[in-house]
A = this chain, B = another copy of it.
Amino acid sequence: MSKVEFKQLSPADFFYRNRELAGFDSPVKSLYTAFREIIENSFDGAEIGGINPDVFVSIKEKSDDVYTIFISDNGIGIPGNKVPQALAKLLFGGKYVERQSRGHFGLGASMTVLYSQITTNLPTRVLSCTRGSDVIDEYHLMIDIQRNEPIIRYHNQIPNKKKWHGVAVEVNIEGDYKRAHPKILDYIESTALVAPYASITFIDAYGILYKFNKIVDEVPKLGKAVLPHPRGIDTEKMLRLIRVAKQKSMKNFLTSNFQRVGEITAINFLKYVNIKPDKVPDQLDHDEIVRCVQGMNSYEDFLSPETKCLSPIGETVLEAGILKELEPMFVTTVTRKPQAYSGHPFVVEVAMAYGGNKIEAASEPTLFRFANRIPLLYDQYADVAAKVIRSFNWRMYKVPQNAKLAIITHIASTKVPYRTAGKESIADRPELEREMRLAMQVCARKMRVYLSRIEREERSAKRASIFEKYLPYIAQFATKLSGKKQVPPTDFVAGGKGRDKE
C-alpha cells in the first residue's frame, strides 16, 4: 500500500497531463487557445522581419466537433530542418532572448499540435519557406509525447516558384466552435485594433468573411536583444555568465556582460559589495557570488534598464487603430516612459475612447487589454488593469453613469508578468500598477476636458431651448405692452450657435 513508484515525465508528457496550464482546458477554451497561438506566431514571424503582416486564417468544420484551422502568413519562415522541432517539440523555440515578443514560453505552437493529436489523432500539416529559398518544406507532424520528440509522418520539398516566404499550418482540433465563436471574433477584432499596420483575412466556420486592411505602413520596430540588467540577476544567471566569461577582471566582466554598467558604475558597485575590481571572475568564492548577486538587487545607483528592446505601439498608431475599429467621438492615448520591475523593462500605454455608435453604454468601462500586442480576453477580473479601473472615481472625471467609454491598455515588456502560462491576465506588480494608474489619470484628465465641454454645451443647449420656448411669448407680450404691431425676430438665440431647430 505504501509502495511509491517513481517516474520521470518529459515536458510534453507534463503538459499533456496538465494542459489547462497552457490554456487548453474546456473544448471552448482549447479551440480559442489553438487559434490565437498560431495567429501570434504568424504575427511574430512577419514583424521580426520588418514585414507588414498579411495573414489569412480560416476555421472549417471537418466533422462533428472537429474543426480545421488553416493559417498562411508572409513572415520570414522557419528553416526547413528546424520545422519539426519548432512545431512538434515542447520548450523548443527561438524566443529565449531578452527581447519583447508575443510568445514567451516556447509552448504555444507545439501545444496546439499536441492537443490536435490527442483529440483527433491526426498529424498537423506545415509548410515553411524562408526568404530567398528555392524550396518549400512540407511536413506532416505528430509528437512522441512520452519522449518529447517530433514524429515526421511525411516530408516533401516543393519548388518555390512564386517566391513565397512564410509559414502555413493546417491543424485539426476538437472543440466547441459555437461557444468559442464570440471570443474568436473578439480576438480578431482586438488584434486589428492594435495592429493597423497588418492585413488580416478571416473566414469563420459559418463561411463569413472578415477583412481588416492595413491603414498604416509603418511596421513597429522590433525590440533589440539586449544584455541583462544587473537588477533581477540571480545566482544561476551569474554562474552561467561567469562560466563563459573571457574577461580577466570583475570590472571588465561587469561592463561587458550587463547593460547600463560603465567603468565608473562597475568600480563603485564592486566597492559597494567589497570585491576587488581586478578579481578574476571564475575565482569568486561562494560568499562573493552571493554578495555580488544580492548587491545587484539592492544597489540603487544603476541606470534604469534599456528600452530599445521594447516595442510599444505608439500613440499615433494606437489612435489610428481605435478610430478605425471603435469610431468614437473622442479618443486620447498616452505612451508612458519605460520603467522596470526586477530588471525587466516595460512600457504602459493607455487609450480612452468615448461615444460613437460602436462602444456600448455600460455601468463599467469596456476594457480592451493587450500585452505585447496580444489581446487578453479571459480572466479580466484578475488583471492589474481591471484592478486600477475599479479604484477610479469616474464621477471626478465627469464620466456619466452608463457611459460609452472604452479603455484600451497595452503593456510591452521583455517579460510580461502573466499569472498563468495561458497568458490571460497580468499580475499586479507594484511598479506596473503604478504606471497603469498614472497613465489612466493622464487619459482621464484629458477626457474630462472633453466631457466638461460636452456638459457645458449640453447645458447651454438646454438653456437655449428654454429661451427658444419662452422668448416668442415674451416678445409677443412686450410687443403688445409697447403698443407695437410687429413682433421682433426671436430665433437668434439658437441661430447664434448654429444649432438646428428641433
The interface of chain A, by Cβ under 8 A from chain B, is 1-2, 4-11, 13-14, 16-18, 20-21, 25-26, 48-50, 64-65, 76, 82, 85-86, 89, 91-94, 96-97, 104-106, 117-122, 131, 145-146, 174, 222, 234-237, 239-240, 286, 289-290, 293-294, 379, 381-382, 417-421, 427, 429
Contact = CB atoms under 8 A, between A and B. Distances in A.
A118 to B, nearest CB: 4
A92 B9 contact: yes
A350 B421 CA distance: 31
A406 to B, nearest CB: 24
A25 B417 contact: yes
B381 A2 contact: no
B1 A96 contact: no
A92 B222 contact: no
Contact of A48 (B2, B13, B286): B2
A96 B20 contact: no
A86 to B, nearest CB: 7
Contact of A6 (B86, B119, B222, B381): B86
A199 B379 CA distance: 39
B4 A120 contact: no
7 contacts: A7-B92, A11-B11, A14-B106, A18-B104, A118-B234, A121-B235, A121-B286
Nearest to A96: B7
Nearest to A94: B4
A106 to B, nearest CB: 6
A44 to B, nearest CB: 10
A9 B427 contact: no
A36 B417 CA distance: 22
A21 B21 contact: yes
A28 B358 CA distance: 44
Contact of A21 (B2, B49, B420): B420
A294 B64 CA distance: 10
Contacts of A93: 6-7, 9
A235 B174 CA distance: 12
Contacts of A2: 48-50, 76, 131
A119 B234 contact: yes
A26 B419 CA distance: 12
A48 B429 CA distance: 39
A5 to B, nearest CB: 6
A14 B11 contact: yes
A91 B235 contact: no
A167 to B, nearest CB: 12
Contact of A222 (B1, B89, B381): B1
Contacts of A82: 6
B118 A11 contact: no
Contact of A235 (B10, B92, B120, B420): B120
Contacts of A122: 286
B7 A236 contact: no
Nearest to A119: B234
Contact of A145 (B14, B236, B381, B382): B236
A273 B225 CA distance: 54
B427 A20 contact: yes
Given A7-B92, A145-B236, A121 B379 contact: no
A94 B1 contact: no
Contacts of A11: 11, 14, 91
A-B pairs, top 4 by smallest CB distance, nearest first, are A4-B94, A118-B234, A121-B235, A2-B49
Contacts of A50: 1-2
A347 to B, nearest CB: 20
A474 B135 CA distance: 109
